[in-house]
Amino acid sequence: MEIEVTDVDPNLFQVLVKYFYSDVVDTVALGGNYRDFANVISKYGKEHYTRILEDYLITKGTTPSIMRYVIHDVP
């Protein structure tokens, strides 16, 4: 079966398919283009989108504001 892909940067699409096989985003091949990759994965693998975004935020050292809440013990 042939699937012709003309709407995506070939490099990003290759990273996407590699992610399907390895469960790891090849950040080297991605070349820092995480934003476009997130766009691609939101279309072709939307069930992975949250995780990809989480990985991206971790690499950036960013904590989403909702995760900054600390629940204190009530005395």
Partner 1 sequence: MPPDSTFTFGGYYPTNDTASNESLIINPVEGTALKPRIDGSAVPLPRDGTAAALVSITNSALTELSPEEEKIFGPCSAVVLAFGTGSCNFVGDFDLLLINNGTKADELSYNFNKEDFHDVVFKLRDNKLLYAHKVVLYCRSEYFRELLETAKARNKIIMLTCSKLTQIIY
Least distance in Å: CB of 73 to partner 1? 33
* Cβ closest to partner 1, residue 46 vs residue 68: 46
Residues 6+ apart with CB under 8 A from 71: none
Least distance in Å: CB of 70 to partner 1? 23
Residues that bind partner 1 (CB under 8 A): 1-10, 13-14, 17-18, 20-24, 35, 38-40, 42-48, 53
42 phi-psi bin (left φ>0, alpha ψ -120 to 50, beta other): alpha
- The CB-side HSE value for 38 (13 A sphere, CA atoms) comes to 13
* Cβ closest to partner 1, residue 47 vs residue 73: 47
